[in-house]
A = this chain, B = another copy of it.
C-alpha cells in the first residue's frame, strides 16, 4: 500500500488494554496513516506488536520519538500525559489525549465526534481530549436526544466493567472468578471476602459475585472522581455548563462494556415514539428495544462492537418530560480507543 504523503501517527501507551484495541482499530482502517509509531514505557520497549498485519517494534517514550509525528494518540496515566503531551505538541504533533489530565482545561476541547465534532477545531494548546469511558458509553445517545428535546436534568447509575481499570482489573476479576466458580460461596456472611483474600486488585472490595459502589478516588463531600467526571464531562461536551447531573458509579463483575441507567428530563413533553425515531437514526447509536421479543442491550451483545446501544426506552410514568433508558457501550472501543481514533482520523483528514 502506498503510504507516502500520509500523516505519521504515534500511539503512546500502545501495550495497554486500550492501546491493544487501538491497534486493532488501526488495522481495520488501514488506508489513513503513513507511518504508525508505537510508544510505551521503557519496560515495554523492544517488544513487537502487530498493526496493519506488520510487526512494529515498540519505542520507549522520549522526546525524539515525536520527530516527524503529525498526530499522537495518548493512553497513559494522567501524570504521564500531563508531562508528555506538551512535549509532543512542542515537537509539532497534535495530541489526542485519553487521560484525565486536560479534559476540563478550557483551552482543550473535549470531543465526541457524533456530538461536538466542531469543538476539535479550536485547540489552542494543540491538544484534543477524549472523555472518560463512562461518560462516553452514554453521551452519543444523550447528545442525539438533547439536540431534539433539550436536556434539563440527568440522573445516572453505572454498571461498569472491570476493564475500565485496565488489564489489572481484568486480571483481578478472572482470578476471583476462578476462586469462587464451582463452589457454594456467595450466600454466607463474608464467604466471598475470605475466598478472595486481601488481593482485590485495583478495586477496594472483591468484585466477583459482588458489586462495588466506588470507582476512582475520593473527592469532596463523598463523591468519587469517576462520578465527578461523568457530571463535568457531560456538561462540557453537551455545552450545558449548569446541567444538573446526579451520578452513582458502581463496578460490576463484567469484563468489558459499561452499562448505565439514565433518567433524562427534557425542556418539554417527550414521547417514546419520538425518542425512538431519534435513536434509530442517530449516527453511532443502535436502538435495540423490543422487550416483548427479549430485546434489550446487555454487555454480552455489545462487547466488541462500536456503537452506543440503547434499550428499555420508557417515558417516566409520573413526568411526561422524562425518559428512562438503559445504555451500553464497549468501554474499550467507543469508550476509549475508538473515540480517540475517530478524532485522530478527523485530524488526519484536516492535514490532507
Using a CB–CB distance below 8 Å, which chain A residues touch chain B?
Answer: 153, 155, 157, 159, 163, 170, 174, 177-178, 180-182, 186-193, 204-206, 209-214, 218, 221-224, 231, 242-246, 248, 250, 252-256, 259, 261, 263, 272, 289, 291-292, 294, 296-301, 303-305, 311-319, 322, 324, 326
Q: Is there contact, CB below 8 Å, between B187 and A182? A: no
Given A210-B300, A263-B246, A324-B246; A222-B272 close (CB under 8 Å): yes
* Chain B nearest Cβ from A316, distance in angstroms: 5
Contact pick for A314, options B177, B223, B252, B259, CB 8 Å: B223
Apart from A210-B300, A211-B299, A248-B312, what 10 extra A-B contacts exist at CB < 8 Å? A178-B182, A186-B303, A188-B304, A193-B300, A213-B312, A218-B291, A221-B315, A221-B317, A222-B289, A246-B318
A-B contact pairs, 11 of them (CB 8 A): A181-B182, A186-B254, A187-B256, A190-B304, A210-B299, A213-B312, A214-B296, A222-B272, A222-B313, A246-B319, A253-B253
Q: Which residue on chain B has the smallest CB distance to residue A312?
A: B213
Q: Is there contact, CB below 8 Å, between A318 and B244? A: yes
Q: Which chain B residues border A180 with CB–CB below 8 Å?
A: 177, 181
Q: Which chain B residues border A188 with CB–CB below 8 Å?
A: 303-304
Q: Is there contact, CB below 8 Å, between B211 and A259? A: yes
Give Cα A218–Cα B293 distance, bound, in whole angstroms: 10
Q: Is there contact, CB below 8 Å, between A193 and B301? A: yes
Q: Which residue on chain B has the smallest CB distance to residue A259?
A: B211
Given A187-B256, A254-B186; A213-B316 close (CB under 8 Å): no
* Chain B nearest Cβ from A203, distance in angstroms: 10
Q: Is there contact, CB below 8 Å, between B322 and A246? A: yes
Q: Is there contact, CB below 8 Å, between A209 and B298? A: no
Q: Which chain B residues border A314 with CB–CB below 8 Å?
A: 221-223
Q: Which chain B residues border A153 with CB–CB below 8 Å?
A: 318
Q: Is there contact, CB below 8 Å, between B155 and A272? A: no
Q: Is there contact, CB below 8 Å, between A254 and B214? A: no
Given A193-B300, A246-B318; A213-B255 close (CB under 8 Å): no
* Chain B nearest Cβ from A322, distance in angstroms: 7
Q: Is there contact, CB below 8 Å, between B305 and A189? A: yes
Contact pick for A163, options B187, B189, B319, CB 8 Å: B187
Give Cα A301–Cα B192 distance, bound, in whole angstroms: 9
Instruction: Determine which residue in A155, A291, A317 has the highest number of CB atoms from chain B within 10 A of its CB, and name it.
Output: A155
Given A159-B211, A187-B256; A312-B244 close (CB under 8 Å): no
Contact pick for A326, options B155, B244, B250, B316, CB 8 Å: B250
Q: Which residue on chain B has the smallest CB distance to residue A217?
A: B291
